[in-house]
Amino acid sequence: MSNRARPRRSTRRGSTRWGVTSVVVAVLMVGGAGTAYALTRHRTDNSNVATPAPSSTADARATSPGADDRLAASAKSSSTAKASPSSTGIPADAAKCAYTPTSDGSTGRSIQTPGAHPKKVRSHVTLATNYGVIEADLTGDVAPCTVNSFLTLARKGYFTGTQCHRLTTDGLYVLQCGDPSGTGQGGPGYQFDDENLPTKSRPAYPRGTLAMANAGPGTNGSQFFLVYKDSQIDPNYSVFGKITKGLDVLDKIAAAGSDESNGPGDGRPKQEVTITRAG
């Protein structure tokens, strides 16, 4: 993913706030130059429309939180069958991932591209923050390339000491993290395709979802978001985990509010949120 743009309020048509009848709900900015993509709220007539808003600034392709087929539904038992070796020496249940180099590596934080053949297995991750500990089960069986990248970054210390740079509190309810630059413009120096999009889930992103932020199809990188309240946006963001512990931590962060620097209900957390350890 090329998470290159600082979050900012998207161009709006109609209401200036995210209401049930407003066209635009919010954007999780992680983009490059040129076009800002505005995610819309799921309407009562079941028409999800993503309205591209042209931008002359280099600050954004917008994106909103990740996509999950109701994580509870995709999270079956965590047992995985043993892989049988293939003729290439790669386990038969391994995925083939393509991580494409980009120019958005955050200063001092670019990292070696993850291996291309992760096993399709479930795993667990712990994010320690200055607010408390958040734990999640990762769905490597349905999002192997995403989980492979996330764990590679976590285990290499990519997220350690970084701030969660965005909190949305009106219509879209997420905490966005994963950019060492803290601007919404940073990334790991590579991008990869979408996985496990929640096209049949209502809401698309329920409370407890862990998903990737992006700048458009196939631009996943390091930025991710955690959903603290059911959010119905277009299912364009890869869901790769479910929070199993620490939702109360997210609630505390959300209760402190955002500084609304990107518009009503959208900005940096008022109280700094730092990931002190990930793995």
CB atoms within 10 A of CB 88: 9
74: in domain: no
* pLDDT band for position 122 (cuts 50, 70, 90): confident
Q: What is the 3-state secondary structure (H, E, C) of 160-228?
A: CCEECCEEECCCCCEEEECCCCCCCCCECCEEECCCCCCCCCCCCECCCEEEECCCCCCCECCCEEEEC
145: in domain: yes
pLDDT digits over 184-201, tens only? 989 999 999 999 999 999
Handedness of CA 58, 59, 61, 66 (dihedral sign): positive
pLDDT digits over 4-26, tens only? 333 333 333 333 233 333 333 34
CA distance 188 to 173: 25
Q: Which domain holds residue 182?
A: 1-69+90-279
pLDDT higher than 90, residue 63: no
Domains in the chain, number: 1
pLDDT higher than 60, residue 68: no
pLDDT higher than 70, residue 222: yes
CA–chain centroid gap for 78, Å, is 22
Give the ranges where the chain is alpha helix by DSSP (H): 71-74, 144-155, 247-256
79: in domain: no
143: in domain: yes
190: in domain: yes
Residue 49 is which amino acid? V
Residue 94 is which amino acid? A
CATH number, residue 169: 2.40.100.10
76: in domain: no
pLDDT higher than 80, residue 27: no
83: in domain: no
Mean pLDDT value across residues 16-41: 35
pLDDT higher than 70, residue 183: yes
25: in domain: yes
Contact of 184 with 267, CB cutoff 8 Å: no
**For residue 70, what pLDDT is reported?**
29
